[in-house]
């Protein structure tokens, strides 16, 4: 298989889009997070907060989606390299899932801060 390095920007964007499409097709948690992102965008449109809140919430959402994609990649690679159950592989997968949880909790914290700020104005 030919390397993805040094390809045109268009080709690299196609590879990235293929990764997102695969994740959305195969990972329920990524579909859930994508739906939450759409709801966040709708809430931003409804609340019409300052641009800084838009930036913070879009950044948080992007980080959560990226973490989900990294988690998917790590799980797929771990399963490919070591298909049978193994305690070390379980720890790798658990840590990747914990990373998604950490950024998700942080994103919820930012959303709560927006809601608190919105009720004060």
Integer angstrom CA distances of residue 112 from 82, 117, 118: 40, 9, 10
Distance separating alpha carbons of residues 110 and 105, to the nearest angstrom = 9
Distance separating alpha carbons of residues 116 and 108, to the nearest angstrom = 12
Question: Which residues are marked as active site?
Answer: 68
Angle, helices 28-47/87-119, rounded to nearest 10 degrees:
10
Q: Which residues contact 117 (CB under 8 A, 6 or more apart)?
A: 49, 53
């Amino acid at each position: 298989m030919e390397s993805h390095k040094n390809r045109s920007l268009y080709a690299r964007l196609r590879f990235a889009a293929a990764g997102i499409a695969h994740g959305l097709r195969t990972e329920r948690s990524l579909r859930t997070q994508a739906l939450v992102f759409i709801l966040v965008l709708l809430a931003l449109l409804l609340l019409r907060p300052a641009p800084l809140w838009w930036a913070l919430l879009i950044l948080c959402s992007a980080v959560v989606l990226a973490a989900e994609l990294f988690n998917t990649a790590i799980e797929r690679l771990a399963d490919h390299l070591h298909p049978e159950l193994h305690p070390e592989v379980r720890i790798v997968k658990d840590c990747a899932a914990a990373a998604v949880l950490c950024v998700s909790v942080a994103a919820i914290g930012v959303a709560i801060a927006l809601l608190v700020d919105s009720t004060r104005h």
